[in-house]
Amino acid sequence: MAKDVSVILQSLLARVKKRGYSDDEILRVAAQGDTLLDKFADVMAEAARKPRDVFPVTVNYDLSLEEAIKAGEYQAVHTEITAANFPSTRIGQADVEIVLIRFDRRMASEDVVRELDREGLRAAELPEFLAFGAAYPDVQRKFSVAGLGSVWRDRKGYRNVPCLYEASEGRYLDLHWWDDGWYTYTRFAATHK
């Protein structure tokens, strides 16, 4: 345990130095004692309190949307989830971690995106979201998952994002209104920036 703590402290100091601070500046701030340690403890406790699950996936950005959807074997797919409405902006293949984030309160989409950004994450885009759904089909049987990284505006001007959930007929790939807000049972698919 002591070795782990030492590694964490060394890593923290290296990151502070990387931001341009000298040893003298670090020591001056560290001399503040309990106030600084309390702030650091609060940040650590907040990060530990947020429920999250991590799922490694391989994403093929060159896969057509139709192929990516087919790989998920969904019982129903919203008809507006098309390549024209959700064009892919990335190419190639990548191994990513999909992090599922849950909040303990009702959240607006903008607030979710801001929180993800603060944690060094970005909302999963549709190819990543679909790769996750195909690799881990049972997750959406437990709770709804939203992918806020790909947004489509419909004819009425409403913004829509993909979501995964289960209904009586099976697993669904659907759309949800961006502006509706989200309840605590929803997980948000994100990945590291």
Nearest to 88 by CA among 121, 116, 60: 60
Helix (H) or strand (E) holding 146: strand 145-146
pLDDT of residue 92: 97
Mean of pLDDT over the chain: 88
CA-to-CA separations, 183 to 90, 95, 105, in angstroms, rounded: 30, 30, 7
More confident site: 3 or 171: 171
Helix residue spans in the chain (DSSP H) = 2-18, 23-30, 34-49, 65-72, 109-118, 126-135, 139-142
- C-beta of residue 125 within 8 angstroms of C-beta of residue 146: no
pLDDT of residue 15: 72
52-192: CATH, from 3.90.320, 3.40.50, 3.10.100, 3.30.310 = 3.10.100
Check whether 17 has a pLDDT greater than 80.
Answer: no
The percent of residues above 70 in pLDDT, for the chain, comes to: 85
Q: State mean pLDDT over 32-50.
A: 64
Structure tokens of 142? 């437990």
**Full-model pTM:** 0.74
Domain ranges of the chain: 2-49, 52-192
Q: Which of 19-23, 33-37, 87-91, 167-171 has the lowest mean pLDDT?
A: 33-37
26 pLDDT band, cuts 50/70/90, is: confident
